[in-house]
Structure 1
């Protein structure tokens, strides 16, 4: 593999790295009860939308879809969601809920939008949406960590119920690897389409 193709591959994977690393970092801050955490998640939502747009750009080309319609769909979905979040913020919903509850609500809403975007536009976002929903679930009910035991068992993690950050990091790596595989598959389809 040439240095140019390695650089190209790294630049293609970088947005996914930012997506998963940023989510794990915000998960940790939310668990620790950082002040204003809902605001940080709110700033991260447009980042998620832009990464969704960037990482699925090749999908439209590989499928032979119009890139213009793909762009319009992404902008409408993420733009509408960000508008709703801004409207809820102006109404004081996040202040009424409080920091932690507002953050968890925002996480779960974002997970649902990412999951739906994944179903209709980009399969990579299905896995991110599921991962984000998993993070939201652990934050919403930290005492109910039986799911961590089930996930940790195949990986031989000792006492996974008391290691949510480790388990979230492990799930992030798994979801990232699946997303990277899907990205590489799309790149292969794009290369084949250009070659024909």
Structure 2
């Protein structure tokens, strides 16, 4: 259960930040900025076993993670120092930050940890819905698939259901990694 805690934190905080951002898009950029290192840390610790299960060097894995997340944090600091928030405005800065975080999480997910890939899809959808709230029709399509009536008018419920779905996929991936690690250790 302890292995699930970082993933639970990741999804719970994302849902909370999504809800806060829906209420005040301009005022939540700093919350998302503080969340970026949390996502990076969770990404690093939750995929540590993947390197072992695949037979990769843990040092090489750690270097890759540090390069990816370090470059992203460096880019965010550089953009902040260049005054991008003043140029774009707080609302666009928040959306850009969320979508960039989703993109980096997808990169990490594709190359190092599949759990982050599914999280990035969830975060990308959150960013998309925040960028253009009029496009909640996509939730209607998802709701039809899941047999949920009037899903487009229930964005928070749909976000929570999608978070649960991607969380369950993450649990499956975590358990399969644990099984690979156990098999590798028994050899």
TM bin, normalised by shorter chain, reads: over 0.9
Query: What residue number does 1:121 align with?
Result: 112
Let me know the Cα RMSD of the aligned residues. 1.1
Query: What residue number does 2:163 align with?
Result: 172
Q: Does 1:76 align with 2:49?
A: no
Find the residue that maps to 2:135 and give its secondary structure.
coil
Query: What residue number does 2:22 align with?
Result: 31
1:29-178 correspondence to structure 2 within 5 Å: 29-33=20-24, 36-178=27-169
- Tell me how many residue pairs correspond in the alignment: 187
1:30·1:100 contact (CA, 8 Å) conserved in 2? no
Task: Give how far 1:98 is off.
Answer: 2.1
1:112-164: CA deviation from partner (whole Å, max 9, x where unpaired): 11001110101111101111110011011110112101111233323111111
What's the TM-score once normalised by structure 1's chain length? 0.92
What's the TM-score once normalised by structure 2's chain length? 0.97
In structure 2, list runs of 5 or more residues that go unmatched: none
Task: Give how far 1:34 is off.
Answer: 5.6
2:25·2:94 contact (CA, 8 Å) conserved in 1? no
1:145·1:161 contact (CA, 8 Å) conserved in 2? yes
In structure 1, list runs of 5 or more residues that go unmatched: 1-9
Q: Does 1:193 align with 2:173?
A: no
